[in-house]
Structure 1
């Protein structure tokens, strides 16, 4: 049998996964066989357990050797006992029935003459203790605390006692007196002993709600009275005259300092009335530590970070909060990535409390946006939006646009998050320059348009459409199309469908203005639409816009050859396999054959969209722009003027496709009469499955249709009470892509039903995590549940 070293070398040397699995499986079987041999010598047994620990690290099953760990602990040989205790702590937990076999062994070893055996027994008891073990063995731990003068064992016993109290709070009454006795003892009050005392105090304070006896106020008062001693210890450790024995990169024992600060924080948090008299002294102590701690090493930073956490957890004085923010700003200016991440994460939590103090460090926050570490960039983005307001919006927006320029394809989720927050901030704050907002959004679209959904592109198009300055609008559209048509050296990524969509819309809507000002030739605009139609023929949404743009452009050009090219483009989809595109093609061909006057009325300029003022939460007061039912798109395009305007007022510009229709042709309107009506009463289908129920609502799922690789589902929410501002959030497996349609209504009365459509593509089992946020009788409420379907994609 080879050694552990040889086994590890063989596993690491495997060239394929199959070879590694073969080595591990054979060795696991060999160990299982060897351990069944009652005559196996202890040394061999120990080596097999060592290999078993390595197998556990690799994630292999090791339950068959649990008894062997106990047998090694029972050995008199220290080497065997040490491996046995290690294996027990790694392979077992407090819920194992086999722990009953440990009781007698631990009892013997806790009274052993060898201090190292006692130490191992204390460590194992603290790690694996259950309520039963705690009640059985606490007298042995108490005996060590009461009689031992070995600071090494006292330190271990205090830590173990804290673990025992966590499992059985009634033991607090037995162990809490040792806090005072250890602090009074010069021999035992070492740094190790103080760590144990701190742990004991933490447990004593935090188990307040679980302690069953009436003497808790007395116990708590006894613990709180030790606060001045903790203050004194921390002050001494932050003086210049500390022992070199505890020096860690210029800081005196940062481990103990952090533990004591955390203990004080718990005391002041969980016992505010009892500790109120010491609050001023705590302010002075934290100010001294935060200002006197020198050095940029991790040891000093750890102490400073714990100070900052204590300041904001306890909501201390304003001056201390500003000092805490400045400490975090100092962390940001350093080079250590771990320190920067901790600082960004803490500033993100602090920003709502001290926004002005955090904003002073925006220069360092902006630097983090270009950090090579993705985790730091992500936190910097979140913090940038947290401090963004009306006064610094332009400066920070420029930084965010620069960040998007440096982002790679692997950061798609982060890019989408940035764009979503950009749009929400523009809706939340009133910006004087409407064109600055539009230019920023067009620039974002140019950089990362391939990651932006068509709904977000709709926002940009509505902004451009509603802009009043025609000259500025024309100049922006001209620059956009110059990029698209390749008249500038700067190239647009072929995958940037958002930019293509914007360009197609601009040609269809403003082609006449561009041609009148001699900015482009008719052939250039026509050729671009034909090019998009040929290259992106599989993208239904983009082709749908291209067909509409071709129809509108045909009424604005004079060249017969260009008109014919556009006619062929439209007719080319008359036999399209996609029923939506086929219907568009047939109906658009009919419009092309209408007299010029009627075509001009039907294909006129798009009206301004009415957008209500912003409400308190930053969202538009109007209904958000969402994708309507596909079968109604063309019908909405070709409504009469009065019907179209009425629908626009009612729907508040639900979709970009509505943009293209504003005509008054009686013939076309009679042929293609709009079916846009008020939302019908929604009933829950009989074959739907109930997946969740609460006091406010009942949720159902229905599988609408399913083909290999794709499924369409419907989620129904029935109100048990009046519900408003309902939001439905859902997530699918990593191997699947989830697209959510529009929610039929955000406010429902008791007994009323709303519907949410979902489309899933990919592979694997269908399972969802759904979160429902709403305002009900009890206020803002969040419900979350998981649901797994039997079907697989």
Structure 2
């Protein structure tokens, strides 16, 4: 039975036992509402009931477009109850882009002139939330009339807030907005200027200042001809005139804010001991915009108040209690103002102290997760400005790692890596290893029920990725500590880490210079692993990642491990090593992840040049031969190739199977603090490129729809075998060196037929078509640095799925001087329309922080 009232309808929906029952109730009720609303004889009372049901359907996410006209018709009623529901339904069911808004023009015009102030308030609220540019221009005179004639604080507040939103919609309204009314009629009239009216004044001033700021940015970024440049100068003079006019209000607003922060509380506006925190926050934001624009334009009318504003911010930070959320909101706005305006160093330290207080509760306060999150998130942004001040609160940051809230953990991790440097690397690494040990070993002992294992895996993966990146960037010279840390991480979190990520561990271990400590450590780890039958509590039992590392180290260092003085030859010998590989081969043969088999095969081949026992050698050969008919084509191919190499004389094999050289990996931005652990940077082509062991003897090709210009590291990987086999290191490297020198000195000039396809804040990009034919296109991109020197630029480019993209190396290099060009060649094969999505990541003026610009470009051509 379909419900007849809103209450019974909600009760029926909530009481549905199955999803099908709920869907049936909603469908029937929706059909009934549609039928009823079409009835012209339906009374307004029943219309209201059906509109109320329609709003409930909207909350459930159902389609409600059929009730939009009836909601507008309900506004035309003279009954206040009908108007109130009609305006509410219109606000929810319509948006500013719909043509139905034209039906509202006359209704809003009539209601804005209605004698009932509550109906006028409804119209003002709706106009502010739903106004399009045309509606704003048509009805602005009515709103301005209310501002000029009304003396009711309630209506003035609504009109000011509506006016602010209209200015956001159409900046041209500033030309006719009566700015003098704010000071003469409102601020100077104590009867009219209540807290609500003052809040409305702040909104209007913010709208004016933000609109001016956007206009200034647009004009400064645009390249205009002489005529447009004259118009720009005229607009700029008009904007500066407006700013100078409203800057006269700064002393009054500062005085109001200072008085609100005093101890003389008005009970009507008291919120947990803080006097009107909403108004205080808006006043701070308004003054911040004044000084932001004034300092940029160097207007004396505003800059003369800089010292008084600094004093006011200090007063607010000192007098505002942080025991409750209202006080924290004010302190947060104070901190934002300090860093956005780049105020003096003492004030920046004060701001960091405030943020640090957000992270830990005091005796008289309780810190909620929202406050912690805000504090951590803001500290991440200010680390580049005041790293030393943030460093002092490492203890508080570390405490947030063990919070129950997963978002707090992630933000605390991001901040921890943001403040990590060579001096605190050891200390923070110890804390992070402790965190990894806890989160991976006893998950349900510390986490609440809403944190699942997937969240824990994300935390582990992000922490391990970031730690490895920091090990690449920073080095405290303690190879032993780094080695022990890497193995500890693998033991504790190996079950969470993908095998692809172990490549990063292998690179880090391979690059450690202290060979003796590596041999001693692996000798001990292998002894424990070989004794796992006696030691059932082996720390890395069933740890695939640790198994992979041990297999790799056997292939690389088995001969050195056997000769090591700490090695027990009764445990570690040719027979036990080969038996260990046989067991792993049998265990992982039927596994879904064949990655381990690749490493076992390579390790078996390398061991054939390091052991002398004939039976052990035959067992190694059997490991390789056993995969010659594997269902996986890559494993089968590798097995056949390895068998051929296995049967070669030792003198030939040793030449091919030398130890891995030190891997030089290009280090990306070291100050990265964003949680982008699922971004483009972790795509499979990037990981395959780092797979140094598999690529040494295998020839693998990976194709991706997203291409990155990083030709130099790829060339190093592909030439690794050639370098090992080269008779003379100097002669092998000479051509590459000369090629790099020639590219560095190359000067790129822009072709005359190039087309500008992107105009950014820092970069311009031009496109030049070399050739477009059936199935193939050859393009060139010319990237120009505008006003700042660009460093370490990394182009990323994507094409549709039906096409394949190949990027050349960026010429002359990844650094571009001011006004200079870099050239990027693109070859696109496949079919379909030519469309590109390009992202340019870079650093400017030597700043370590990474920036990026992204744009889409469509060519009117098809391949």
Deviates more, 1:159-168 or 1:345-354: 159-168
- Provide, for residues 148-206 of structure 1, a one-character-per-residue CA deviation record: whole Å limited to 9, x for no partner: 22211111111122222223334333332221111111111111111011111112222
Any residues of structure 2 matched to 1:731-746 within 5 Å, and which?
Answer: 745=809
Match of 1:365 in 2: 397
Q: Shift in Å at residue 784 of structure 1? A: 4.4
Moved more, 541-550 or 339-348: 541-550
Over aligned residues, Cα RMSD in angstroms? Answer: 4.3
Question: CA distance change for structure 1 residues 15 and 428 in 2, over 3 Å: closer, same or farther?
Answer: same
2:602 matched to 1:548? yes
Q: Does 1:438 align with 2:483?
A: yes
Paired position in structure 2 for 1:706:
none
Are 1:230 and 2:253 counterparts?
yes
- Whether 1:428 and 2:473 are equivalent positions in the alignment is yes
Aligned to 1:133: 135
Q: Which residue in the other structure is 2:51 paired with?
A: 49
Which of 651, 654, 658 aligns to 2:717? It is 654
Are 1:255 and 2:278 counterparts? yes
Within a 5 Å distance, the mapping from 1:481-496 to structure 2 comes to 481-482=526-527, 484-485=529-530, 487=532, 488=535, 489-492=537-540, 494=542, 496=543
Aligned length: 724
- Mapping 1:393-408, distance limit 5 Å: 393-405=425-437, 406=439, 408=453
- The C-alpha deviation readout for 1:321-378, integer Å capped at 9, x for no partner, is 1100000000011331000000011111111111111111111111112222111111
Bigger mean CA offset, 16-25 vs 511-520: 511-520
Show the counterpart of 1:684. Answer: none
CA distance in 1, matches of 2:15, 2:167: 47
Q: Secondary structure at the match of 2:129?
A: helix
Question: Partners of 1:435 and 1:744 in 2: how far apart?
Answer: 40
Deviation readout 1:500-520 (Å, 9 max, x if unpaired): 221111222222343443252
The separation in 2 between residues aligned to 1:226 and 1:203, in whole angstroms, is 15
For 1:705, the equivalent position in structure 2 comes to: none
Task: Report the CA distance between 1:306 and its aligned residue.
Answer: 0.5
The answer on whether the counterparts of 1:251 and 1:299 sit within 8 Å (CA) in structure 2 is yes
Compared CA separation, residues 744 and 515, structure 1 to 2 (3 A): farther
Is the contact made by 1:161 and 1:175 (CA closer than 8 Å) also made in structure 2? no
1:403 Cα deviation after fit: 2.8
Residue matched to 1:761: none
Q: Which has the higher contact order (CA 8 A, sep 6+)?
A: 2
Shift of 1:725: 5.4
- How far the C-alpha of 1:477 sits from its partner, in A, is 0.6
Equivalent-residue separation in structure 2 for 1:309 and 1:190 (angstroms): 27
Q: How far did 1:613 drift?
A: 10
Closer, same or farther in 2 for the Cα pair 1:744/1:400, shift >3 Å?
A: farther
Q: Structure 2: how far apart are the matches of 1:486 and 1:726?
A: 51
Residue 271 of structure 1 aligns to a residue in which SS? helix
Does residue 152 of the first structure (1) align with residue 149 of the second (2)?
Answer: no
Q: Which residue of structure 2 lines up, in the alignment, with residue 324 of structure 1?
A: 351
Q: Could you say what secondary structure the match of 1:71 adopts?
A: helix
Equivalent position to 2:115, from 109, 113, 116: 113
Unmatched runs of 5 consecutive residues or more in structure 2? 216-233, 362-366, 441-452, 673-685, 701-711, 740-755, 759-764, 786-790, 814-821, 845-849, 859-863
SS of the residue 2:839 aligns to: strand
Tell me the equivalent position of 2:548.
Answer: 501
Alpha-carbon deviations, 1:62-109, whole Å to 9, x = none? 222222112211112221111011111111222322222222222222
2:837 and 2:854 in contact (8 A); partners too: no
Deviation at 1:561, TM superposition (A): 4.0
Listed one character per residue, the Cα deviations across residues 438-462 of structure 1 (whole Å, up to 9, x for unaligned) are 2222323333345556665344434
Q: Distance in 2 between matches of 1:325 and 1:721?
A: 38
Contact kept, 8 Å, 1:125 with 1:160, in 2: the verdict is yes
**SS at structure 2 position matched to 1:371:** coil
How is 1:259-658 mapped onto 2 (pairs within 5 angstroms)? 259-272=282-295, 273=299, 274-334=301-361, 335-405=367-437, 406=439, 408-449=453-494, 452=497, 457-482=502-527, 484-485=529-530, 487=532, 488=535, 489-492=537-540, 494=542, 496-516=543-563, 517=567, 518=569, 519-537=571-589, 538-557=592-611, 559-595=613-649, 597-598=650-651, 601-602=654-655, 605-606=658-659, 608-609=661-662, 611=664, 626=689, 633-634=696-697, 654=717
Aligned pair in 2 of structure 1 residues 699, 728: CA closer, same or farther (>3 Å)? farther
Distance apart, 1:755 and its partner CA: 7.7
The verdict on how the C-alpha distance between 1:433 and 1:446 changes in structure 2, with shifts beyond 3 A counting, is: same
The CA deviation at 1:602 is 4.4
Offset from partner CA, 1:204-251 (integer Å, 9 cap, x none): 222326596975544433321111111111111111112122111110
Give SS of 2:304's match: helix
Offset at residue 714 of structure 1 (A): 13
Give the aligned partner of residue 680 of structure 2. Answer: none
Q: Which piece of structure 1 moves more, 425-434 or 280-289?
A: 425-434
Q: State the distance in 1 between where 2:806 and 2:495 align.
A: 22
Cα distance between partner residues in 1 of 2:574 and 2:40:
93
CA gap of 1:609–1:741, structure 2 versus 1, over 3 A, is farther
Equivalent position of 2:208 in the other structure: 204
Shift of 1:631: 11
The 1:115–1:721 alpha-carbon spacing in structure 2 relative to 1, beyond 3 Å, is closer
Quote the residue 1:191 is aligned against: 195
CA contact (8 A) 2:507 2:663 kept: no
Tell me the distance in 1 between the aligned counterparts of 2:100 and 2:414: 48
Q: Is the 8 A contact 1:445 1:498 kept in 2?
A: yes
Q: Which moved more, 1:720-729 or 1:384-393?
A: 720-729
Taking the aligned partners of 1:61 and 1:650, their CA distance within structure 2 comes to 53
How many Å separate the matches in 2 of 1:98 and 1:254?
39
Give me the whole-angstrom Cα distance separating, in 2, the residues matched to 1:106 and 1:35: 23
Q: Give CA deviations for 1:392-430 in whole Å, capped at 9, x if unaligned.
A: 111111122223331554344444443333233223224
Check the 8 A contact 2:397/2:416 in 1, yes or no: yes
Structure 2 residue 289 is matched with structure 1 residue 242: no
Asked if 1:177 is matched to 2:200, the reply is no
- 8 Å Cα contact 2:112/2:142 also seen in 1: yes
What is the deviation of 1:782? 3.6
Compared CA separation, residues 522 and 366, structure 1 to 2 (3 A): same
SS at match of 1:771: strand
Whether the aligned pair in 2 keeps the contact of 1:69 and 1:87 (CA below 8 Å) is: yes
> Per the alignment, do residues 312 and 617 of structure 1 end up closer, same or farther by CA in structure 2, a change over 3 Å counting?
closer
Q: Write the distance in 2 (CA, Å) between the matches of 1:486 and 1:693.
A: 65
1:306-329, Cα deviation, whole Å (9 max, x unpaired): 100111111112111110000000
Name whichever of 719-728 and 264-273 sits farther off: 719-728
Spell out the pairing of 1:15-94 with structure 2 (5 A cutoff).
15-94=17-96
